[in-house]
Amino acid sequence: MTAISHQKLKPISGDRALDARAQALSDIIRAAGALAQAAFETGAGGFEMKGPQDFLTETDAAVEALVRNQIAQRFPEDGFVGEESGSSPAAMTWVVDPIDGTANFARRIPHYCISIALVSAEEVLLGAIYDPAHDELYFARKGHGATRNQTAISVSSVSDPQAACVELGWSTRIANRTYLDTLGQILSAGPNVRRAASGALGLAYVADGRSDAYAELHMHPWDCLAGLLLVQEAGGTICDFLESGGLTAGGGVLAATPGIAALMTAATGITCK
């Protein structure tokens, strides 16, 4: 895993430039998903361990290479940050997780995705999350709303904790006791809690109203930037991930429907905008 160089970059301007990248993002992420799903269905490649509960497959590298190469061909001036291959920031920088939910992917569980965000001057302009196993493409452009397969989506209207369903991600960077204490705080407040092992899809599900909140005490930017934009554009409440240094070091993530955001902040200690 790599960190993004801490460097102030001037934003690129013009709707036309962003229009071109939005279309390219849709095309590229679908191509990446097709490659990933073909490998998933055949079980090709197996996996190795980068660390405790940190899976790596041959498909991670292949998908990231596809995305990197297609972006370089179309927008050679843009920067690229991939989970597996390093950091080269620019005025426009693509932040990529080639397989989010690698543990699921490696064990043939069809709950994984490709996550890509476009960042300029520490602002997320585009975000896409593609679930190839179910052919669901989540897409957001700052100020233009969020969609699933080109249909507008919105967060849920749930405000009763006893009716809420939330997800709490787990990270080896956080002590087990801290994680369990946070889990206990959420359960005591009333929501049902689950963990499905793909933080990016967890965030997409909040944007789509399938889940009412997603929280994780530490995430990397490639895991969450696209999903946070999705939730924000779908009417949800999100944390200040970039303003708190998340672009360089990662950090806590919280995204929720407004009706239970305060409850989740109280339980996790992660504040929202």
Determine whether the annotation assigns residue 97 to a binding site: yes
Contacts of 136 (CB under 8 A, 6+ apart): 130, 148, 149
Q: Which two tokens stand for residue 250?
A: 């990662």
228 class by beta-carbon count within 10 Å (0-12 exposed, 13-18 middle, 19+ buried): buried
Report how far Cα 232 is from the mean position of its chain's Cα atoms.
13
Determine whether the annotation assigns residue 99 to a binding site: yes
Specify the pairing of strand 54-57 against strand 251-256: unpaired
Distance CA 173, CA 192 (A): 24
Determine whether the annotation assigns residue 15 to a binding site: no
CA-to-CA separations, 196 to 58, 111, 214, in angstroms, rounded: 22, 8, 11
Is the CB of residue 142 less than 8 Å from the CB of residue 22?
no
Determine whether the annotation assigns residue 83 to a binding site: yes
Contacts of 24 (CB under 8 A, 6+ apart): 70, 71, 74, 75
> Quick check: helix, strand or coil at residue 60?
helix
Binding site residue list for Mg(2+):
83, 97, 99-100, 223
In the annotated binding site, the residues are: 83, 97, 99-100, 223
